[in-house]
Structure 1
């Protein structure tokens, strides 16, 4: 008899027609979109800072970070506030998503390795893909995506972990 497969929980969201997911454990909260306080000379994907419960959190246009066109704000646009573990610190980030859907469980054996070809963005930012209906859900490797983000994000103070 085999042991039951571990289920992992993910928050799903879209960028255009593409469906993405991040582990539910890194999501602090989901906010309505508001314009961020602009930071001069930051990378194009860094939209600025947003006050989140007294903490200045950098807001990232994930579409630009992944090489897509910039986000166009709609009534469905949301900001996922994340605490991303990078090395020995926690990086607080706000990711702009075109739409946030739901928390879904994926069994570990459903998660496939990232393909090397056939995808429009660099696959080293993909932790895995899950087949869903007639398409795929791309699980973003947040640590890889932001560990090489450069000095604009590397100096951000670590987030406090709330139990």
Structure 2
């Protein structure tokens, strides 16, 4: 029996067979995943411009093909130590829509792995105790042979910027 989803969390969009295609990536030693349908580009690191007064989580932007894309540092949301960029570091550009407007956000990663298929049967809600991260920032944990994959709740993370449901001027309300 599947546990009931936390209503404050975004719902994971499993297909009819209970599968979810994701792009897996590392932040430090942890493996995270984003729905493959959100991913638009995987970029080598680009020069970032700091945005004065912006929240540290979305504190810089890059210019890619004439578009200004805000860069999210999920390490901050998960209270992970800062890390120097390496040859494996990438920016995963995701796209989401809110109120009829499309937004792109780049997520800085330490290493991008693969597109993988996760199974709902191997997933669980984050435990109520014993996690070092904010529980509301994690939608689900999915067991795999090589460890656990974290499905972050991007909507909750971006909402945290202002503490409300309409934080970050948009992307937070429909990221899932």
TM-score, structure 2 normalization = 0.77
* Cα drift, residue 155 of structure 1: 3.9
TM-score, structure 1 normalization = 0.82
* Cα drift, residue 90 of structure 1: 4.1
Contact 1:36 1:47 in 2 (8 A): no
Question: Does 1:48 find its partner at 2:74?
Answer: no
After superposition, the C-alpha distances for 1:13-47 in whole angstroms (9 at most, x for unaligned) are: 01111111110111111100123111112222334
Match of 1:160 in 2: none
The 5-angstrom pairing of residues 1-163 of structure 1 reads 5-85=17-97, 89-133=101-145, 135-150=147-162, 154-155=168-169
* Long gaps (5+) in structure 1: 158-163
* Cα drift, residue 87 of structure 1: 6.8
- The alignment covers a number of residue pairs equal to 153
What do you get for the CA RMSD once the two structures are aligned? 2.3
- Specify which structure has the higher proportion of strand: 1
* Long gaps (5+) in structure 2: 1-15, 172-176
